[in-house]
Amino acid sequence: MPYPHTLGPPDFAEVLRTGNPKHCCRPPASGKQNKHAHVPFPPRGSTVLLKRPNLLHGSRDTYYEVDPVPCNVVVRPANDAAIEWKYDDLSARQCARPHVEKPDLPMTTTVVKVATRPGKPSTTHAVHPACWEAIKAGSREIPGDVIAALCRMPRKDKAQEVKALRKGALVCCYFGS
């Protein structure tokens, strides 16, 4: 479903000011599939830690314990000045995501998520340790697709999340180029 959008570069400050995620959404694109694997699939026989539906992405997520793998994100406060909000040039993803410079030694994790959606290729993600702790604790999950999440949230939840982001709630930041 296409989201309301603006033209030009993403403007996260305007999202925080207005509470409207459209300022970090571009017009819908077609023809590019968001097909990716950030880490290899867990080996056969890996321990399943958790299975659950992901309402944001419409997927069934399975979390596995694996040997350490590097994370492809860092966790930072949403209002961190080092974050650059970027659109993904390699996919039809409509919403900007936070990016930071890749650290020399990325953190490692022993948790990998496999997201499965009917009719689409499964995707794999290294789960940052802080994200896994939030999932286990049942507290606010640390989003990577925070703008997409805001677009899909009910108004009341969106207002709470924007308020938290203004105060520096944590987000997953991808490594930019």
pLDDT for the residue 31? 59
- The pTM is what? 0.87
- Residue whose C-alpha is closest to residue 115's, from 104, 100, 127, 107: 127
Q: How far apart are CA 65 and CA 61, in angstroms?
A: 13
Q: Where are the domains of the chain?
A: 12-175
- Average pLDDT on 36-52 reads 85
- Residue whose C-alpha is closest to residue 159's, from 39, 51, 16, 1: 16
- Average pLDDT on 80-87 reads 94
Convert the pLDDT of each residue in 91-142 to its tens digit: 778 999 999 999 999 899 999 999 999 988 888 989 999 999 999 998 888 9
pLDDT for the residue 90? 74
